[in-house]
Chains A and B, each alone.
Chain A
Amino acid sequence: MADEPRTETLRLAGVRKSYGAGTPVEVEVLHGIDLSLQEGEFAALIGPSGSGKTTLLNLIGLLDSPSAGQLFIAGREASALGEMEATRLRGRAIGFIFQYHYLLPAFTALENVMMPMLAARGRADAQMREAAARLLARVGLTPWCNHKASDISGGQQQRVAIARALAMTPVLVLADEPSGNLDTENADAVFDLMRDVNETSSTTFLIVTHDPRLARRCDRIIELVDGRVVSDEPNSDVVRRGESASISARTASPTPR
């Protein structure tokens, strides 16, 4: 992590999330999360299954709204936005990478990368096509530009998904187990790619992972247990304290891959 002052990409202040609010079966899954990510941070979010990682990621990604608390994205209070505004902000400021690539199988790799730009601007143009081709070149997939998403390998599909997440030059990329479906070699390649993007463009990454190897390669590790942040510190501190084994234990998940 660099030491110079940076702008805040994400801030959560007392964010809570309950399901079944107002009913006898109300369950609070996030209990007042306070969290801040600076521009260019590369952070891992770890924790056992059921700890609320995906719920937190959905809130940050504006796919869901908090029951209480405030959420700021690039200085803007996103938790106060209406559905349309939130959709617009999500399209412009946030990129998603999922465990499964979720590319649109009917479209080519290039078209999949173009899709967020197309949704935002309404119609296709040559500039959009060029931008998408540049992104695919960056993830090393120029020869696969015009292949259907369903016709390329799992590793390539996930790289297309990364290119798609970067299409709108977001300030924040949320990755939910981005290498969960890949073998070690492809998982490393995908991780290297995200790291490279982070270093060259200062895009903030928040990566949910169960892979201790990958978590150790992040700059910061945030641990969530039972809907609470139980630890949040730079990875260098963790490593210095010799807690690598502990990370392995904390990221280990019974979740089927």
Chain B
Amino acid sequence: MSPLALFESIVAFRFMREGLTQTLLIVLGVALGCGVIIFMSALLAGMQANIVRRTLNYQAPIQILAPDQVARSLREGGPDSLAVQIQPRSQQLRSIDQWQKVRADIARIPDVIGVTPVVSGPGFARRGEATKSVTIAGIENETYFDVIALPDKIVAGRHDVGPLDIVIGIELAKDLGMAIGDKMSLTTAAGVASTLTVTGIFDFGNKGVNERNVYVALRTAQNLLDLVGGASSIEVKVRDPFAAETIAQGIRASHDLEVDSWIKTNAQFFSAMAAQILANTLIRIFVGLTVALGIASVLVVSVVQKSKEIGILRAMGTARVQVLRVFLIQGGFMGLTGSLLGSLLAWGFLLLWRGIAKNPDGTPLFIVIIEPSLFAIACVGATFVGILAAIVPALRAARLDPAVAIRG
């Protein structure tokens, strides 16, 4: 038996059909409210995902470094002590002590899905007369790509690096006029140089990274940066990037190492994101309240208009709870249909936005994520808000004294 054959649904739908104009108006109001919420949420989620994706393209969620070297005073401090000024030490490139053991420890953490050692330091890329300063990253072919999706970003050549290979960014290749198979010289500040063959060119979609980063084999970088057998950092990928700081804190607590999460290193971005989320939440709350008040006001009017009919229904043996349900169904239905219509509106708008909002090069200005769960949540939420909004008018209807209602 269809739920539409139930007494309460039959009466509820007839009441709504009877006041069709006000039903349509409120459904439209709910649709607009839901549409705005879905559109804004999709845009915000897209923007966040876009920035997160772009950042984590080239940056590991967690980076572990050797602790900073600290200069300590030889004198004990005290009331009689002389004023002592301690000059901070300059930091040398150092390897993480027993990095293999640290790597093994980190790999055992449940949420960690990739761990790789990196030897990283400054250098100069030279071709003929042209010189560019670069950041050399010595990588381990077997594990690095579990952490950084370099293979996906290769636009020419290949991603894995042999002892005499180098993978460079598209901007650096342009600046130095390099192509696959060309040779270039990589020199460190200490004067150690190596001639390497360009075997791959990448594009991370970030000019600075495309200009600066170069990838060589771990052993090559160890030799160039005088860090034989060492690793200047261990880069870690975690299942949920937003849990990176919590995991980083755990590592920090168990190892005497400097552990940076991408959340900490991109603090400004995260505070901007938090402000956006707060603004979006406030908008959602106010739109939700407006929708609820709209539904409630329409139903309050309906209860007044239909009080005689409610009285008759009660006289015919309709229980208070049945009258209550008649109005709750109306509230829920207005929320549900309004949100379904709103979902359709938002979906159309998002597609339109995707087509219109483009960069001059034709790439989308925002990556809009049309997540089905967002629509589902909006519909369930709006139905719930509709039912909640109907409670007060429904109680008023249920409490009507039939004798008084009939007499009018």
Contacts and interface: CB of A to CB of B under 8 A. Distances in A.
Interface of A: 54, 58, 61, 63-64, 83-84, 87-88, 90-92, 96, 98, 102, 104-107, 111, 115-116, 118-125, 164, 168
Interface stretch (B3-11, B50-58, B167-175, B289-297): B3-11
B317 A88 contact: yes
A115 B313 contact: yes
Interface stretch (B77-85, B241-249, B258-266, B318-326): B318-326
B17 A106 contact: yes
B318 A91 contact: yes
Given A58-B403, A123-B1, A123-B6, A106 B317 contact: no
22 contacts: A54-B407, A58-B403, A61-B315, A63-B314, A63-B402, A63-B406, A84-B319, A84-B320, A87-B317, A91-B317, A102-B406, A104-B312, A106-B14, A106-B17, A118-B7, A119-B319, A121-B7, A123-B5, A123-B6, A123-B7, A124-B5, A124-B7
A61 B403 CA distance: 10
Interface of B is mostly: helix
Interface string B370-408: 000000000000000000000000000000011100110
A106 B310 CA distance: 13
B6 A122 contact: yes
B315 A96 contact: yes
Contacts of B320: 83-84, 87
B316 A115 contact: yes
B10 A124 contact: yes
Nearest to A115: B316
A115 B10 CA distance: 10
Nearest to B9: A123
A119 B317 contact: yes
Contact of B18 (A64, A105, A124): A105
A107 B14 contact: yes
Nearest to A122: B7
- Nearest 8 Cβ contacts at the A-B interface: A91-B317, A63-B403, A106-B14, A106-B18, A119-B318, A116-B316, A118-B7, A58-B403
Contacts of A104: 14, 309, 312-313
Given A54-B407, A107-B14, 4 more contacts: A63-B403, A87-B320, A90-B315, A116-B317
A119 B313 contact: yes
Nearest to A167: B316
A221 to B, nearest CB: 25
B308 interface: yes
A63 B312 CA distance: 11
Contacts of B401: 63-64
B309 to A, nearest CB: 5
B353 interface: no
B6 A164 contact: no
Given A96-B315, A120-B317, A64 B406 contact: no
A251 B191 CA distance: 123
B254 to A, nearest CB: 63
Contact of A118 (B10, B15, B309): B10
A96 B403 contact: no
A104 B15 CA distance: 10
Given A63-B402, A98-B406, A124-B5, A119 B316 contact: yes
A129 to B, nearest CB: 11
A102 B403 CA distance: 13
Contacts of A125: 1, 5
Contact of A102 (B6, B15, B308): B308
Nearest to B408: A100
B317 A92 contact: yes
A87 B406 contact: no
A61 B308 CA distance: 17
